[in-house]
Amino acid sequence: MSLFRRGDVWWYEFWFAGRRIQESSKSISKTVAKLSARARRTREKAAPSPSTPIYEKASTSTRSGTGSVLQKPVQNGTSFRLAAHARATLPGL
């Protein structure tokens, strides 16, 4: 965990469950900022952790050949619209 100042206000930063948490303590006191950071970390531990995102392997066609990349599954209509656009723009897909 690290504490740093932006102007007169103390901010804290730490990593928890693979996520970076960086927030303002909304305080000008370093002691209060430490307590805020400790309380925030405790809330993170008590909260149910979100499921780890599952990455799907998506094949891509590049100029140098065929490759593959890892991409996060999209949970809204974006993936459908993107697939429709790809089929319309890239023949043979």
More confident residue, 68 or 89: 89
Domain ranges of the chain: 2-46, 56-89
Residue 12 has pLDDT above 90, yes or no: yes
DSSP 7-65: TTEEEEEEEETTEEEEEEEEES-HHHHHHHHHHHHHHHHHSPPPPPPPPEEEEEEETTE
Pairing outcome for strands 56-62 and 19-27: unpaired
Q: Give the pTM.
A: 0.50
